[in-house]
Amino acid sequence: MSDREPASWHGTTILTVRKGGKVVIGGDGQVSIGQTVIKHNAKKVRPIGKSGVIAGFAGATADAFTLFERLEAKLDQYPGQLMRACVELAKDWRTDKYLRRLEAMMIVADRTTSLVVTGTGDVLEPEGGVAGIGSGGNYALSAAKALLDTDKDAEAIVRKAMAIAAEICIYTNDKLTLEILDAE
């Protein structure tokens, strides 16, 4: 890496599982710059306002908080309509000169819907109620899909899948933050 090239931030595994009347979003706590772990217990999963929505982010922290604030405003504008709020956010994200530069992805969920929202304008509802994003997202996603047909509940699946991702991905640790909602 040259002296002029900024160190790149790595880290984050976010996973959501919808099963048995619950939806769970879990995120690890590791934040790294280059080859150095800067923080072990970052909170990358949280409720959004008082709207009954939970969310997790992968990417630049300040960018994610900007997106959380924008999503909260959209949810205020379209109460109870998570899909519409996310589509409107994705439109803004794609077309607004400032927002276009934000580098983050989000998983958001309410009682009925789970979505992955990206800066490329994607608002995707995952098949089977399972989605993973971030550096270890594919590892956690694979593990969760393998555990779906077991007797484990959504929380146990997220915990086990995230533990597996932490064993494989060097940018993922086992310091989890979970948010849980009762689903319909």
Residues recognised as catalytic:
12
Q: Which residues of 154-172 are buried (b: 16+ CB within 10 A; e: fewer)?
A: bbebbbbbbebbbeebebb
Tokens for 128? 């089977």
Going by C-alpha positions, the residue among 46, 61, 17, 49 that lies closest to residue 154 is: 17
Q: Residue 151: is it exposed, middle or buried by C-beta count within 10 angstroms (0-12/13-18/19+)?
A: exposed
